[in-house]
Amino acid sequence: MKAKRVGQARIDSIFEHQSAGRSVFDWFPDATSALVDRHRGWMAPTYMEPETDHLVIVHQSYLIRLPGLTVLVDTCIGEDKDRPGLLAFHRQKMPMVRNLRAAGIKPEDIDLVLCTHLHVDHIGWNTKLENGRWVPTFANARYLFGQAEFDYWQDQHDKVGWMAGGFEDSVLPIIEAGKADLVAADHQIGDGLRLEPMPGHTPGLVCLNLESDGEQAAFCGDVMHHPLQVPEPQLSSLFCADPAQSAVTRRSFIERHADTPTLILPTHFAGQSVGHIVSDVDGYCFAFAP
């Protein structure tokens, strides 16, 4: 993704990882062959490998530079993290912080880190390993965690195998360092930056809404994992805690933003990643930004 301007805000994608490790039928248990066949023409090869039906998924953070405020939305997979339930993430040396520096920002320049939710691929760089301890990567930043999301994973993190370790190494050290603010799902961060609840994928998933000089953007986290979910919003991922609620939330989000100038920034879309939701003859589709 090339840098985007939304009013006075400059937005950059800070890339970490791209993979095609699961088939569309693994990602979306309710997908049928007939449904997938309807969309093959536009999905392959950028968004789905034609020979395997594996979906192409990106992991990235979004960097927002506003006058007087630098925000990082989600912190990807991280480095040196024990993730035995997700071997693609296990004890990796991921490049997000190097790519952040390449964009002209040092970790100490970040003022605010927002985690849209607390899945392991959105919190990994919250901390780094230093002298055998997990310490905040972004030493000068406040970290925003949704209170409902934090409460849920505080109770559930050791009951979900692929979340093993994430809460202990990437969330609790931020709390213990006094760097976290636990906020409501509709928290107003400041002029032009507010959170909006998006329950379903996780109980406390939030979207960050940005407005600047009359222009809007929505950083929607995992409301959608793949552009297939725009024309087929009933498809919830295997990682959704409440698939039915996830579908309701996604459909409402799509209908509300369709045919508006709001720039939509999902976390995991491949290709140009960002764009607009537009109507078409069969419902809606995602029009990627040029």
Distance CA 48, CA 35 (A): 14
How confident is the model over 42-54, as pLDDT tens digits?
999 999 999 999 9
Percentage of the chain beyond pLDDT 90 is 92
Q: What is the mean pLDDT of residues 236-259?
A: 98
How confident is the model over 3-25, as pLDDT tens digits?
999 999 999 999 999 999 999 99
Question: What does the mean pLDDT of the chain come to?
Answer: 96
Tokens of 274: 């960002």
What CATH topology corresponds to 4-288?
A: Metallo-beta-lactamase; Chain A (3.60.15)
Report which DSSP code applies to 289: -
Residue 164 has pLDDT above 80, yes or no: no
How confident is the model over 121-134, as pLDDT tens digits?
999 999 999 999 99
Question: According to the model, what pLDDT value does residue 267 have?
Answer: 98
Q: What is the full DSSP assignment across 83-122?
A: -TTSGGGTT-B--HHHHHHHTT--GGG--EEE-SS--GGG
User: Which pTM was predicted?
Assistant: 0.96
How confident is the model over 187-238, as pLDDT tens digits?
999 989 999 999 999 999 999 999 999 999 999 999 999 999 999 999 999 9
Distance CA 61, CA 95 (A): 11
Residue 103 has pLDDT above 80, yes or no: yes
Question: According to the model, what pLDDT value does residue 161 have?
Answer: 81
Q: What is the mean pLDDT of residues 150-157?
A: 94
Kindly provide the b/e burial profile for residues 81-107, where b requires at least 16 CB atoms within 10 angstroms of the residue's own CB: bebeebeebeebebbbbebbeeeebeb
Question: According to the model, what pLDDT value does residue 125 have?
Answer: 98
Cβ atoms 127, 165 nearer than 8 A? no
Cβ atoms 240, 200 nearer than 8 A? yes
Residue 155 has pLDDT above 80, yes or no: yes
Question: According to the model, what pLDDT value does residue 152 have?
Answer: 96
Question: According to the model, what pLDDT value does residue 191 have?
Answer: 87
Query: Please, which pLDDT band fits residue 102 given cuts at 50, 70 and 90?
Result: very high
